[in-house]
Amino acid sequence: MTRQAKSDNSKAGLRQFILPDAELTLWSSWLSHAETTVLQTLLSAELAWRQEQIRIYGKTVNIPRQQVWMGEPHCSYQYSGVCFEPQPWHPAIKKLCSKLSGELNQPFNCVLLNLYANGQNHMGWHADNEPELGPTPVIASVSIGASRRFDLQHRQHGHQLQLQLDNGSLLVMAGTCQQYWQHRLPKQSRVLTPRLNLTFRYIAPQQ
């Protein structure tokens, strides 16, 4: 069963979704067009983008996008059998992280940046449920560039939700969302321009 996005909040630019086992909020214009234009130009040119390799069903494959993992020195991240060590903060992203933490009253200390060159670049079904993130992580996803479809699917009931993540939007997934829901960015052959996605997270320092 697929559901289109529905809201319980009529405030312009803000939508909160009533879902089982998840807290989901979408700001359609969290960043202005001017801000996203500057960030897209800056980050596309200045970051050390890499097409990582991961292991899936025992095979090593190239992921269909480019990535950068960035954050505080202790924020190592294990994903699909690969350990990612954080790059130092880029000043523009550090500033964005501070803005996000202040407005959401939520600490963030690392970010995964994905660069999707066009609609052929994608990400399959998954959840951000790595142990480093804790049982109820807050994932704040900022979209820059091309508008892309974003799907969520409940692990047990199979219910699906489709969202459109536009340039400058902010999607926050919280509560038990990562325990009960998976999400993906599907292929869209008609999308010809790039999209940057920044997903901010928090990893507690080891005691």
Q: Which residues of 56-83 are buried (b: 16+ CB within 10 A; e: fewer)?
A: eeeeeeebebbbbbbbeeebebebeeee
- 31 DSSP assignment: S
Rounded Cα distance between 68 and 45, Å, is 13
> What pLDDT does residue 196 have?
98
> What pLDDT does residue 33 have?
97
**Domains defined for the chain, CATH in brackets:** 14-201 (2.60.120.590)
What would the pLDDT profile of 67-86 be if each residue is shown by its tens digit? 999 999 999 987 766 788 99
List beta partners, residue 202: none
Positions of the chain with pLDDT lower than 70, given as ranges: 1-12, 80-81, 207
> What pLDDT does residue 81 have?
67
- 198 DSSP assignment: E
- Mean per-residue pLDDT of the chain: 91
Contact status, residue 163 vs residue 131, Cβ threshold 8 Å: no
